[in-house]
Amino acid sequence: MLESSSVPLFIVLILLFILLLIVVLIKKNGTAALIWNEIIREKVTNFIMNQSKEQRILNFVLQNAVRGDPRSVVDTIDRYCSQKEWAMNVGNEKGLILDKTVEEASPSVALELGSYCGYSAVRIGRLLKAGARLLTVEFNPQFAAIAKQMIEFAGVQDKVKLLEGPSEEIIPQLKKKYEVDTLDFVFLDHWKDRYTPDTILLQECNLLRKGSVLLADNVIFPGAPEFLNYVRKSPHFQCTNYPSHLEYMEVEDAMEKAVFLG
């Protein structure tokens, strides 16, 4: 009897250990975390709720944040993504690096590549001085629709304009269509394989001036090695690395600041 009763207990302990191992792996390993959050968990939840994760984030903000208060909107998104569902916002930890860089650059004209749900657009928009503007570019039409609502709810729509389409098509249009002379600040947070070609495109289109600041997210995870190699070896950029963690996780990540020297 003792042996037969100990077998189920042993199996339970093994299963609990495996479950604990999975939880630790998801928290510490970026690849495992993305597979779990972006593929398995998100797809299942979307199917059950018949709604996208991004729409759930927006609904949570509409129900819990203060309209017209960008700080409240940012904090509410952070709360949702740290407690309920992970999402690829810059997040609260790296958000402080973003805040400091924007405040130091004090841009009159800023560009964001990769709006997603509008988190960083709101975060940047709330820090812009009077008369300054942010152009935020989003390729995915569903994300763009969510971001537009988020920006308007936060009350920063007078400073933030959302441009829908591929970055490689919009960047060459910035001077004539959107009356941009040069950019004071650029936040790169879109497809990592677009970091380098879009940086080169910004240079070719004469959109960078001496002192223009580029800040790139996720340069360690998922990683942007080609971009790091390009800006660090280029005589046209002075680089600073800011070690941090992947948004809402303990996975190592970093942001790279590249100041254009002309």
Catalytic residue numbers?
189, 192, 217-218, 247
Nearest to 188 by CA among 205, 175, 202: 202
Sort 227 into a burial class: Cβ within 10 Å, 0-12 / 13-18 / 19+: buried
Q: Which two tokens stand for residue 6?
A: 């100990």
Under 8 Å between Cβ of 230 and 68: no
Side-chain-side CA neighbours of residue 232 (13 Å): 11
Strand-by-strand arrangement of the 133-138 sheet:
160-164, 133-138, 109-113, 183-188, 208-216, 252-260, 237-245
Under 8 Å between Cβ of 160 and 151: yes
Backbone φ and ψ for 174, nearest 5 degrees, come out as -60, -40
Under 8 Å between Cβ of 102 and 134: no
Q: Which two tokens stand for residue 213?
A: 């600041």
Backbone φ and ψ for 18, nearest 5 degrees, come out as -65, -40
Nearest to 42 by CA among 26, 53, 54: 53
Q: Which residues pair with 254 in a beta bridge?
A: 243
> What is the rounded distance in angstroms from the CA atom of residue 56 to the CA atom of residue 80?
9
